[in-house]
Chain A
Amino acid sequence: MEITITTRNQLTLATLVGELDGKTAPTAQERIVPLCQGGSRVLLDMSQVTYMSSAGLRLMLLLYRQATGTGATLALAGLSEDLQDTMSATGFLTYFTVYDTVEAAEAALGQ
C-alpha cells in the first residue's frame, strides 16, 4: 500500500493506494495516526483502495477513535461501492462522515 500525505490550507489529505489488510494496516496506522491531532482536519482519499480486510476495518475504527479522542475531524472520500457495502454490512460505516469525492469533501469541510 502506498500512502501520500499532503496538506492544503487546514486540511490534511491522505491518499491510500492498494489493499488495506493485515499486512498493510500497521504501516497505515503508523502514518495516519500522527495526523489525527487536536483540531486537525484529516481526509482519507479511499478511491484507490481496492480491498479492505477485517484488519483494515479495525484500523479504520482505530483511526476514528484516535480522532475522536484528540478532537480531530476525520472524513472519508471516494469509497467504492464495494468498500462502502463491506463497511456498512459489518457495522463499521456508521462511524464516519463519508463524501463521494475528495472535491465534495473539500467543499464541505470548508476549503
Chain B
Amino acid sequence: MSNADLQRIDINPTHTYNGFRLRPGKPLPFGATLVPGGVNFSIYSSHATACTLVLFVKGQPQPYAEIPFAEEFRIGNVYAMVVFDLDYENIEYGYRMDGPFDPSVGHRFDQSKILLDPYAKAIGGRDVWGVPPDWNNIYHYRGRLTFDDFDWQGDRPLQIPSEDMVIYEMHVRGFTRHASSGVKHPGTFAAIREKIPYLKALGVNCVELLPIYEFDEFDGSRPHPWEEDKLLLNYWGYSTVGFFAPKAAYAATGRLGMQVDEFKALVRELHANGIQVLLDVVFNHTAEGNEMGPMISFRGIDNKTYYMLTPDGYYWNFSGTGNTLNCNNPLVRNMVLDCLRYWASEYHIDGFRFDLAAILGRDPIGIPLSNPPLLESLAYDPILAKCELIAEAWDAGGLYQVGSFPAYGRWAEWNGKYRDDMRRFLKGDMDLIGAVAQRLQGSPDLYAWRGPTASVNFFCCHDGFTLADLVSYNDKHNEANGWGNTDGGNDDHSWNCGVEGPTDDPEVNALRMRQMKNAFALLLVSHGVPMFLMGDEIGHSQQGNNNTYCQDNELNWLDWGLVERNAELLRFVQRCIAFRHAHPVLRNREHLRNYDYVGSGYADITWHGTRAWQADWSGTSRIIAFMLCGKHAKSGTVTDNYIYVAANMYWDALPFELPGLPEGMHWHLFANTGAVPDAYEPGSEPRLEPQHELLVGGRSVVILVGHE
C-alpha cells in the first residue's frame, strides 16, 4: 500500500451547523486552503472575542451562509475550521469579527462589517480595471479560493548575480495599455508576455513591477481638473488591499478569477527568457487610510495589532497616506515574512523592492530601531536567502537612511544620492566631481562595507520626471493632478536645455537627445546595479508631470510609436546595455581599490582629465574621465578589455589626452554621444585615430575600449 492509498483519518466531519458539515481546522497555514473534501479556514485576531465565516455565491450581493467558529475551533487566538462540500470555485468568503469598539485604546471591532482575510490568495469583486464599484455593496474585496499548484516546467528563480543585473522599472498596466501596443489584452500580465521579445532586444535582465498586490484604483478617485467625465485614479497602486493576492484587474483572466495562474505564467515565461521579476512591495501602509477610511480588513480584524497608533488611538502617518502598518509588531512581522515567502516560493519571484522601507525599521510607536527585527528576519530568512532585497531607504516621516539603512550584509538600496549627484552633474552643476567619482564607483563613500551591489543606480524612476522630461523641463507641471501644482517633489535637478517643454528648435532637441544618451552612457558604465524607468529608452514624456500617481492615461501609458520615432535613442541604449553585459570589468562585486593588486602596472581604476593621469577635482570642474584596467575585472579573477570613459559636461568641446595602454593594445571607439554614429555594436568598435588624444564635444560622453 502506498501513501496515496492510505486515506487520511481526519477527512470526516465532526460537527454540523445549519446543514454545513464541519470539523476543527488546522491553524496553519493561515488563510483558506483546499483540503480533501473541503476548505480549511484559519484566521487570527489578538483582541476579537468571536469570529464568523461568511460565504457568498460568487458575485451575489448577500451571503448565503454565516458559520460561527465554535469555541472548540479556536486554538490560542486562531479561529480554524474545515467546511466540507463547498463549491470552491464558485464561492467568496469573508469574516465578521466581534470585539470591543473603543478607539481610544485602539479597538475598532464592528460586527456589521464583512472583512477580507489578510491571507486571501485571490481577491474578487473588482476584476476589471476602472469599472466603478457599486458603493452599496456590503463586501467589496472578496476572498476567493485558488489552486496553489502550477506546472512550472522546471523553472526556478534565476539568481542572476546582483552586479550583472540591469533593472527595468515598469507598470503592468502602463506598459501595454496604450492603443499603439498592439497586444490582444492591453494592460495585463498576459500582454507583458507578448512584449517579451522587446525586453530581450532591449537587453534588460530584470523587470521591477510597480505594485501588483490587490489595490483599489478608486482609492482617492476624483474628477480630472479639466477633462470632463474623466477620473483621476490611484494608478500607481501604492495602497495595498491584500498582500497575498495579485491584482485581479491586471489579469486578462481576472474576470474568471485566474489571475494567479496568469501571473505565474508570466513569471515562468520571463524566466525562460532570462529575465528576473522583482516586485515593488508596500508594507508601510494599507488602503484603509486613517479613521475616516474604509474598513476593508485589518482595521476590523485587529486594528491595534496591525497599525501604529498614537496613545489616544489615532493613526500615525509616517507613510503620508493616513496610516502606518505596525511592521515591528511580532504578528505583523510574521505576516510580512509569510507574504514574502509565499511570493518567493509560490510565484518564483526573484526579489523585492520595499517602498518607504525606512518605516520597516521603526518600532510600534515610530522610533527608529537600531536593530529592526523585521529587516533582520528578512535578511536571514532561508526561503528568501537568494532574493534581492532592495530598500527605498527613506520614509515620509523624515527618516532618510541612504547609506545607513540596516543592511545585515543583504539589503541593497535605491541610491537617491546617485540620482541627485548625477542629475546635477548632467546639467552642468559645479562642485560635484568628487561625488560623481564616488557614484561611478558604486558609492563606496556610502556603502564601504557593503560593496557596489548595495547601490541601485538610477537617474529616473516612476517617482519624479521621466528622463525625457528631465532634459525638457526646469519645473514640474503637475496641474493635471488637481492640486494646483503643489504636489510632487521640488528637487528634480532638471534642466530644459533652453526651452520649457516641447519645441521645434532642432538645436535644443539635439541637445536633449544627447543629454539622454549621456545619462544612459553614465548609468551603464557605473558600478552598482543600473535601473531605469520603462519608456526612458524611447524618450517617453509625462509632459513635465513629476508625480503621475493618479494619471491613468497617455501621461503614463507607453506610446509604442516612440519605438520608431526614437529609434536612434533606443538603439543607443540597446548598445550600452550590451556593452555592459559584454564587459565584466564594469561589474565588480567588490569595491574598486584604486591601486594595482594584480601586477598589471595599472590600478583597477585610474582618474583622468583633459590631461591623462591628472583628474581635475577642482570646484569649477565639469569633467571627469576614468580608466578601468581589464586585468582587474571581477576583482582580478577575469581578464577583460580596458575601458576608458570621458564625461565632458562643460558646454564646449575639450581635448582629452588619453592614457597609454599596455604594449600592443589600442583604443577603440565604442560610444561618443556627441558624434554620428553614437555607438557601435559591442565587439565591432573601430580603432581610434589618433590614439593619444580625443576631442570630446560639449556635454558629451565618450567610451573607449582598449585591446589588441
Residues of A within 8 A of B (CB): 21-23, 53-55, 57-58, 61, 85-86, 88-92
Contact = CB atoms under 8 A, between A and B. Distances in A.
Given A23-B87, A85-B184, 18 more contacts: A21-B89, A22-B87, A53-B89, A54-B89, A54-B146, A54-B257, A54-B258, A58-B147, A85-B185, A86-B256, A86-B258, A88-B190, A89-B251, A89-B252, A89-B258, A90-B258, A91-B151, A91-B264
B132 to A, nearest CB: 24
Contacts of A89: 185, 188-190, 251-253, 258, 262, 265
19 contacts: A22-B87, A22-B88, A23-B87, A54-B146, A54-B147, A54-B261, A57-B258, A58-B149, A61-B151, A89-B189, A89-B252, A89-B253, A89-B258, A89-B265, A90-B265, A91-B151, A91-B264, A92-B261, A92-B265
Nearest to B193: A89
Interface of B: 87-90, 146-147, 149, 151, 184-185, 188-190, 251-253, 256-258, 261-262, 264-265, 268-269
B145 to A, nearest CB: 9
Contacts of B189: 89
A55 B90 CA distance: 11
* Interface residues of chain B: helix, strand, loop or mixed (majority): loop
Which of A23, A58, A61, A90 has the most B CB atoms < 10 Å from its CB? A90
Nearest to B188: A89
Nearest to B254: A89
Contacts of B89: 21-23, 53-55
A21 B257 CA distance: 13
Contacts of B147: 54-55, 58
Which of A58, A85, A91 has the most B CB atoms < 10 Å from its CB? A91
A104 B264 CA distance: 32
A89 to B, nearest CB: 4
Nearest to A58: B147
Nearest to A52: B256
A25 to B, nearest CB: 10
Contacts of A58: 147, 149
A92 B262 CA distance: 10
A91 B260 CA distance: 11
Contacts of A92: 261, 265
Contacts of A90: 253, 258, 261-262, 265
Contacts of B149: 58
Contacts of B188: 89
Nearest to B257: A54
A91 B269 contact: yes
Nearest to B89: A22
Given A53-B89, A54-B89, A54-B146, A91 B261 contact: yes
Contacts of B253: 85-86, 89-90
Given A58-B147, A89-B188, A89-B189, A53 B265 contact: no
Given A54-B257, A54-B258, A86-B253, A91 B87 contact: no
B268 A91 contact: yes
A85 B251 CA distance: 12
